[in-house]
Structure 1
């Protein structure tokens, strides 16, 4: 099936884009916005409305396949690509990207996605958000042309055996960390609550506020959760533990604090994302290794999750090879094409590092559904509920797409088994 057209339209994403450095330096909230001056290149204000590019691939039979270009909430932070402004990049998709893809076979997903990754415009590779969104549309186009699921297209391309059970979904609360956590507990969400601990106010001057929150979360999970509810707690601290205690990161007070967090979460397992941000990849890996070693020596069973400075496939590989994390977040918009996120998940196979297929609240419903297929095709350890910070909407989108896909694949396998029995008979 031939690709006859590639079209781009500027749109919105599911949240906002924030200047993380300005926020961590103490920018004060003003309602839903922030007071103060931005400090990261490209930002003209600390919080901007999130943007996307709506990509549509037209096939020769008139079928249309979609993908959405989007970037993470904290753009241009931690080694990421610059701020993504949709109107600046729509001409790139309508022009050079379309010229490269029109006329190609839509069923050749991997070849088309790799061509996109290698495309150079004005001397530079395409912004990761463009590669992300257009590759989603290429995956959807291949699935439509082959009359199968995106999960199966990706699994066939990479030689994987897809998951047959739903991947644990990780809910994100935003700043409504109490109300949204209770919603997650009531719905029996497997991994929760993210909690958005990105300032001293939220962690406490000595870490006491986060400890109190984890204690509360444990109590509410036991009080409100469905029978047999056994969640995993996952809290993103945006480097604030490092800010609070300083380095080196196996110092006794750091380990003692993690031990206190473990006790607060008991009997549920706990993982802490982004415990520190030390400014570059090599130093971040070294600090994370030191922290893991310190926790292991003290017998503290809290897992650490790599986030800052773990953006590209090469970054994921470096963290995994060094044993710098129990879990790596694979931030889908930062890796470019969705097949690269899939390969990053696969790189964790056979190691003691689990793959969390993440992303950002600042995506769209289309990109969230595409990521479900990446998670299923690679049997990731967990997948993020997205987009948005309202929790319910993102959880519904991700969980339902996953269940829908598994049910479809099960029906097809059942039909194939029936056909085989009939032939044998």
Structure 2
């Protein structure tokens, strides 16, 4: 077979793993660290440097193709896999995934993923393993077929060759004002995330948050180029519900008021509230979406927490419980599942946002670009890390290179035809 050995290499994620429960409980920041004791199992401190694990598939011609395993920033929160343990993941990869990889046809991408990711001891493999291995298998299939990763996705899912770019969304981290300026100057499509993850950043009755929203809109007009009209996207980590209560009507009223403060802009609000379970999230988000739609609001609800797996995404999409679903790539598992998730959203006329985490790597970000473009997602996250420049260049440049190759391929096909 095409894979004759499997290599593992320790790595770093581009940011940190954070204990969301401890931060919500009031942990304060001292410089870059959080002060206090961790709450979520596995965390030895509230903020932990992100680790990753690279897997290399050594092919018969001695080419090596790589993928990267990691978990998301807020591991262990909202039903997600626990904090990434590279030693445990390396052991399980060596014992279970590696022998399976040596026995698959790497040129058949979905078949190879299905065989490698069969349950082990009646349980699904850790999602980090699925994520990293599926990236490496996608690169292997692309190499063996002499095509781009996007073309492999198109072929496997019977999709037309894409021609359109996918809008890019940048996240600011805590350096809000400086990074917003960077995003505006670089004419980012969707901005700024804002990292509204604490009471201090949201404010009493949301006053700090609403002032920030107005400032971003004003700043865009002040320093943006003529005609620049980004989507304003803010992740509030459930703080609307935490501050004003879990009544859908009140939450919708608040969001409408914020949207009215920035006329002319489309406003995305990610994770307005956490209702405690997937079903409760679906039921209440569907109500919020319905209220906003009936009012003709320019605000859109984006779901993140409690919507992790492919089945979760299907349930939210079927129920119209969001205007836009964040497909958080490491939480979905195999990157082939990310492609399936986008297609499920499209079938249900719900927006598909291929997200992920600041804890990812350059390799996982580039693979995500290919899946996003192939499936024509509605937007994709500039990742990894919390800096604008690096993530925007990695994702933006990969997309531009990919579209250049696809345009050439399309021209070749037209000449042959």
- TM-score bracket relative to the smaller structure: over 0.9
- Residue aligned with 1:349, SS: helix
1:280-299 matches, within 5 Å, as 280-299=277-296
For normalisation by structure 2, the TM-score amounts to 0.97
Q: How many Å apart are 1:9 and its aligned residue?
A: 1.6
Paired residues, what number?
417
Deviations along 1:349-374, one digit per CA (max 9) or x if unpaired, are: 23231000000000000000000011
1:271-310 matches, within 5 Å, as 271-310=268-307
Partner Cα separation in structure 1 for residue 123 and residue 206 of structure 2 = 43
Deviations along 1:216-266, one digit per CA (max 9) or x if unpaired, are: 111111122223211111100000000011022113xx3332122112222
1:8-407 matches, within 5 Å, as 8-120=8-120, 122-251=121-250, 254-407=251-404
Partner Cα separation in structure 2 for residue 416 and residue 256 of structure 1 = 52
Structure 2 regions of 5+ residues with no counterpart? none
- Residue aligned with 1:208, SS: helix
Partner Cα separation in structure 2 for residue 375 and residue 369 of structure 1 = 10
The verdict on how the C-alpha distance between 1:365 and 1:418 changes in structure 2, with shifts beyond 3 A counting, is same
Partner Cα separation in structure 2 for residue 112 and residue 47 of structure 1 = 36
- Residue aligned with 2:204, SS: coil
Q: How many Å apart are 1:419 and its aligned residue?
A: 4.1
- Residue aligned with 2:346, SS: coil
- Residue aligned with 1:118, SS: coil
Decide whether the 8 Å contact of 1:56 with 1:137 is kept in 2.
yes
Deviations along 1:95-153, one digit per CA (max 9) or x if unpaired, are: 32110111422101111111222241x55321101100000000000000111000000
Structure 1 regions of 5+ residues with no counterpart? 421-425
Decide whether the 8 Å contact of 1:329 with 1:357 is kept in 2.
yes
Partner Cα separation in structure 1 for residue 241 and residue 371 of structure 2 = 32
The verdict on how the C-alpha distance between 1:28 and 1:3 changes in structure 2, with shifts beyond 3 A counting, is same
Deviations along 1:335-356, one digit per CA (max 9) or x if unpaired, are: 1100001000000123231000
Alignment RMSD (CA, Å) = 1.3
Deviations along 1:256-281, one digit per CA (max 9) or x if unpaired, are: 32122112222110010000011110
Partner Cα separation in structure 1 for residue 187 and residue 283 of structure 2 = 36
Q: How many Å apart are 1:376 and its aligned residue?
A: 0.9
1:404-415 matches, within 5 Å, as 404-415=401-412
Q: How many Å apart are 1:412 and its aligned residue?
A: 2.2
Partner Cα separation in structure 1 for residue 293 and residue 142 of structure 2 = 45
- Residue aligned with 2:91, SS: helix
**Greater alpha carbon shift after TM alignment, 94-103 vs 191-200:** 94-103
- Residue aligned with 2:347, SS: coil
Partner Cα separation in structure 2 for residue 351 and residue 127 of structure 1 = 28
Partner Cα separation in structure 2 for residue 383 and residue 162 of structure 1 = 18
Decide whether the 8 Å contact of 1:211 with 1:260 is kept in 2.
no
Deviations along 1:266-309, one digit per CA (max 9) or x if unpaired, are: 21100100000111101111111121223234443310001110
